[in-house]
Amino acid sequence: MALNSGAGSSDLEARARQLGAALDALITALHERRDLLRQIGMNLPPGTTSGFEIIREEMTFLLDRLRTGTAELARYRALAETASQLAASLDVQQVLDEAMDSVIALTGAERGYILLRDEDSDEMVFSVARNLERETLDESGFMVSRTIVEQVIVTGQPVVTTNAQDDPRFATQQSVMFFALRSILCVPLIARGTMVGVVYADNRVKDALFGQDELELLVVFADQAAVAIENARLFARLQRALAEASEMSELMDNVLASIASGVITTDVNTIITLCNSAAETILDMPRGEVLNRPLRIALPVLYGHLQPALAAIFDEGQTGVIEADLALPGHDPASLVLKLTPLRSEQRHPAETEGVAIVLDDLSEIKQRDATLEMVRRYLPPAMVDQIQSLDGLGLGGERRVISVVFVETLPFEAMPLELPPDALLERLNLYLTAAAEAIHEQQGLVDKFIGSEVMGLFNTQLNPDADHAWKALQAAITMRAELQALSARLGQSQMRCCRIGVHTGIATLGNVGNATRRDFTAIGDMINLAKRLQEHAAYGQVIISDDTYQLCRDRLAPHDCDVRATERTTIQVRGRRQPVTVYEVVCPR
């Protein structure tokens, strides 16, 4: 009968026991017959009973061997199943826990622990400790014989002792006596010919728990467990490497995406290996259409300018700078500066050029701006042009200075004729905005922004410095009101709903806001908010100025000096301010 299954072994053992019982019964019967025959002077043939007794002894021996083989088969079957489970997992901690639990289950140990060689320090370090109840133990509470462990680490040979306290090799060790250690097994973990760790198991109560069979079984299991542990550690290293590579790749993508310059790299065969988003924008070519393609095919126009420099890079390792006007398909010519740098492998001696990095800077807007400024110089004073150029030097920020601000609502949207189509509505709105803007420009003011039907004008900025800014702002407001009312009359709209204006003078912060690629020059601060609140407080047809503006203009507002006068209004509570604000209405006598 084949010993290929647990059921087959059990059946064979049962039949062997039955046969043994039958032999015992036969031997007993023969002895009885022999006694009866002797009473009548007869006897059994010589050797009859002794032969059966020998057969019985052989049967007993075979039965013991069968039991031992069955137990050993069960243990090796459990070993194979455990090894299969270990091989199926790639989590280091799970593999360690399962390996330690399996050692305890296979050997009958009370507890055990595993040391693994640290990949950085090359020292054996504590990795996991478990007990019979599959509980994880803390290293500080795990008392073992360090002598035995160190011996296995040094010699690479397994150690087994049935009673460490009586074993002459270890009986004199303090740890053995102090911790009352008895049965101990310690086996090296060897994977691919290298010791990667040590597995230790013991029992502090039972003697002679471990023998040669347990040692051989643990050695076989340790070899399989070592491979499983190393595979899991290798997988963990690969995961870390992949995470680091992914993080580095993401960082490089973020860096390349944040660079305003275009970046293209190729290998030694000028196959494009990288193209950042800025290069996509500059060349108006999706990266999917250029990556992994030869440069001369993907970007033939660019390649035509680069070919001589590429030859110098690959032949002599020289860097190069090229200025080129590229006639891109479907676009105006682009003025580019191309910087070429060899990519070298530092791992080779001498370093070899393995590709080229091409950095593209689009100077089209800069050249266009320079051309515009050159044209502006023909019409504006040099001082004004220099002030325009100086704005870029402010960066993202600015300076605090006293300015005057005009806020005007030219015409509320609800006052527009409802029957007007959208294009006619916008055309009419632009007429009002144009009239307001021209009044500001007439007094050398700067139109900061258009907000719906409203306009914001600035006086005494870095672009239009003027010591008389308060008076200029007031004159712009008066002219603006007259022009807007006249426009309403021409268009047949009610002048009662036409324009309301606020003027204020104070300290504001002026400069560029935005980011490195898109900036706006503007003014911010509490005084801007106050000017807006004055405009909102004014009735339609009114010009309201603050006391700060009035104090700077009052000498010119006297009736004998000017045809306008200011009438003081009672103080008003402006939203956003705790203190009341004194305001004046500027009126023109008929």
Instruction: Beginning with the edge strand found earlier in the chain, give each strand of the sheet holding 124-131 in spatial order.
Output: 124-131, 111-117, 194-203, 183-191, 159-161
Q: Are 549 and 560 in contact (CB under 8 A)?
A: no
The separation between the first and the last C-alpha atoms of the chain, rounded to the nearest angstrom, is 131
Q: For residues 321 and 272, give the distance between their C-alpha atoms in angstroms, rounded to a whole number.
A: 19
Q: Are 92 and 229 in contact (CB under 8 A)?
A: yes
Q: Cβ of 520: how many Cβ atoms within 10 Å?
A: 10
Q: CA geometry: angle at 364 spanning 358 and 369, to 5°?
A: 145
* Helix/strand/coil (H/E/C) assignment for every residue in 84-130: HHHHHCCCHHHHHHHHHHHHHHHHCCCEEEEEEECCCCCCEEEEEEE
The DSSP bridge pattern shows strands 194-203 and 262-267 to be: unpaired
Q: Phi and psi at residue 138, in whole multiples of 5°?
A: -80, 145
- Asked: is 395-587 a CATH 3.30.70.1230 domain? The reply is yes
* Sign for the pseudo-dihedral over CA of 484, 486, 491, 495: positive
122 dihedral zone (left: phi>0; alpha: psi -120 to 50; beta): left
Helix, strand, coil content of the chain in percent (nearest 5): 50, 25, 30
Q: Are 501 and 485 in contact (CB under 8 A)?
A: no
CATH class of the domain comprising 89-237: alpha beta
The DSSP bridge pattern shows strands 194-203 and 183-191 to be: antiparallel
DSSP result, 487-550: HHHHTT--GGGS-EEEEEEEEEEEEEEE-SS-EEEEEESHHHHHHHHHHHHSPTT-EEEEHHHH
SS3 81: helix
Predicted local distance difference test score (pLDDT) of residue 433? 92
Tokens of 227: 């491979």
Per-residue confidence in pLDDT tens, the chain, 590 aa: 333 445 555 666 677 667 767 766 766 776 776 777 677 766 666 666 666 667 667 767 666 666 666 656 556 565 556 556 655 566 777 877 877 787 787 777 888 888 888 878 888 888 888 888 888 787 665 666 677 888 888 888 988 877 655 566 665 565 555 555 677 888 888 888 888 888 888 877 676 677 777 787 778 777 777 777 788 788 888 888 777 777 776 766 666 666 778 888 999 888 998 888 888 888 888 888 889 999 889 888 888 888 888 888 888 877 888 888 877 666 667 788 888 888 877 665 556 788 888 888 888 777 777 776 666 555 444 555 555 555 555 544 578 899 999 999 998 877 777 777 888 888 888 999 999 999 999 998 988 888 888 999 999 988 889 999 999 999 999 999 999 999 988 888 776 778 999 999 999 988 877 766 666 778 888 889 899 989 988 989 899 999 999 999 988 887 645 556 677 776 777 666 677 888 898 887 65
CATH of domain 260-366: 3.30.450.20
